[in-house]
Structures are given as structure tokens and as C-alpha cells.
């Protein structure tokens, strides 16, 4: 995958300094560990507190509305039933780590059961999400925006203090709407363990290996 470096830098500014948007040629580390929602993450050693009410395994998602980037309709994930939800939560799509995370999710489609919904959530505007999806050729994913007040981020304990963006996370929700897996990446410049999340999602469909 090739990128225009100058264009990428322009797209990333002004959060260039925050998320390390210098190059996509370096290998991005993957974190296997997780921290609890509502605690703190770090960016290159600098602590960042997480605001809001922590979500927990065994409980439903918070009942708040997100905006579907393609239809501009409101979506309340706490009311969704019948499919396993794999939520890939990123700070901003126009950064290399978030882009890599989303490409991984989108390009893992061949082995994904149809009743797993792959959903990308960020605080980018719906218009930015839609542009990203088309430019990255990743329109096979669902994109939900929390751009208004950050209600979903705050209601899940994933809102970063100061930045007011999401902490990088992955959440898996079963067919009954109950959270069964959470990873909040301890270091924001690292990728989540999407292989583990995908395996959990497949397990919940009854099609895991």
C-alpha cells in the first residue's frame, strides 16, 4: 500500500504531533495487553486520563446515539440484536495507526462470518469518515461518528482528557447485545490485537476455530 507522504502530513495536521504521523514505513507495534476503561492510557510514556463511565464485560453498551456516516441516520448500538458486533474504535482515521487498524479490519473480510458486523467508530465527522472509506476503498465496513458531544466515548469511559478523542480500543458484543470482550490499547501509538478480537467474534457466532 503506497501513500503520498506530503498529502498524508497535510491530512494529519494538526494532530500530527499527537499520534506520530511521520511515516507509514515503520512497523507499528501491536499491544496484546489492555487497560480498563475509565483509567488511563499513555502516548509515548505520557499519561492520558480516560473520562466517563467505564463499560464492562457482561453488560450492554451505553444507550446513546451515533451517526451513520453513509446514511446520516442515528444508530443506538445498545438496541442492535441478532449479529455479533466487532467495534474498532480509533482516535482519528486520518492518522497512520488508525488507517492501518481500519485496513486490517476491512481486509480481513474473506474469513469473517456474515453475521459479524465490522464497525469503525471515531469522533471524526461523518463526512470525513465517508471520504476516508471511499479513498481507502474500505466501504465494506460500517462507520459511526461520535462527533457531536462525544456521548458514546464518555458513556464508555473511553474519552481522552484534553484531546477529547477516543482511546484506541476494540469491543466485541454478542447477539444479545452484551459486551463480551474489551481491549483498550495501553499505548495509543500501537495497534490493538485484532486477531484476538476477531477470534472472539467468530467464537460468539459459533463459527470459531
Spatial distance between the Cα atoms of 194 and 162, rounded to a whole number of angstroms: 27
Spatial distance between the Cα atoms of 123 and 152, rounded to a whole number of angstroms: 10
Residue 40 is placed in which grid cell? 488511563
Spatial distance between the Cα atoms of 34 and 151, rounded to a whole number of angstroms: 22
Report whether the peptide linkage leading into residue 14 is cis, meaning its omega lies within 30 degrees of zero.
yes
Q: Where are the beta strands (DSSP E) in the chain?
A: 40-43, 46-51, 66-68, 74-75, 84-89, 116-122, 142-145, 159-160, 169-173, 179-184
CA angle at residue 61 from 56 to 66, to 5 degrees?
Answer: 140
Active site residue 98: yes
Point out the catalytic residue in the list 35, 89, 98, 105.
Answer: 98
Residues making up the chain, counted from first to last: 209
Question: Which positions are annotated as active-site residues?
Answer: 98
Amino acid at each position: 500500500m503506497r501513500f503520498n507522504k506530503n498529502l498524508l502530513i497535510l491530512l494529519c495536521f494538526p494532530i500530527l504531533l499527537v499520534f506520530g504521523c511521520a511515516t507509514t514505513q515503520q512497523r507499528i507495534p501491536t499491544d496484546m495487553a489492555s487497560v480498563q476503561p475509565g483509567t488511563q492510557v499513555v502516548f509515548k510514556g505520557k499519561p492520558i486520563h480516560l473520562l466517563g463511565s467505564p463499560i464492562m464485560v457482561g453488560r450492554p453498551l451505553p444507550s446513546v446515539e451515533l451517526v451513520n456516516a453513509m446514511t446520516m441516520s442515528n444508530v443506538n448500538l445498545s438496541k442492535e440484536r441478532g449479529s455479533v458486533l466487532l467495534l474498532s474504535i480509533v482516535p482519528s482515521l486520518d492518522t497512520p495507526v488508525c488507517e492501518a487498524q481500519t485496513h486490517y479490519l476491512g481486509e480481513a473480510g474473506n474469513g469473517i462470518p456474515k453475521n459479524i458486523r465490522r464497525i469503525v467508530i471515531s469522533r471524526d465527522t461523518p463526512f470525513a469518515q465517508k471520504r476516508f472509506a471511499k479513498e481507502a476503498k474500505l466501504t465494506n465496513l460500517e462507520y459511526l461518528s461520535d462527533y457531536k458531544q462525544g456521548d458514546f466515548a464518555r458513556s464508555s469511559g473511553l474519552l481522552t482528557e484534553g484531546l477529547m478523542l477516543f482511546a484506541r480500543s476494540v469491543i466485541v458484543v454478542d447477539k444479545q447485545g452484551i459486551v463480551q470482550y474489551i481491549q483498550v490499547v495501553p499505548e495509543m501509538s500501537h495497534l490493538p490485537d485484532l486477531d484476538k478480537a476477531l477470534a472472539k467474534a467468530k467464537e460468539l457466532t459459533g463459527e470459531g476455530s
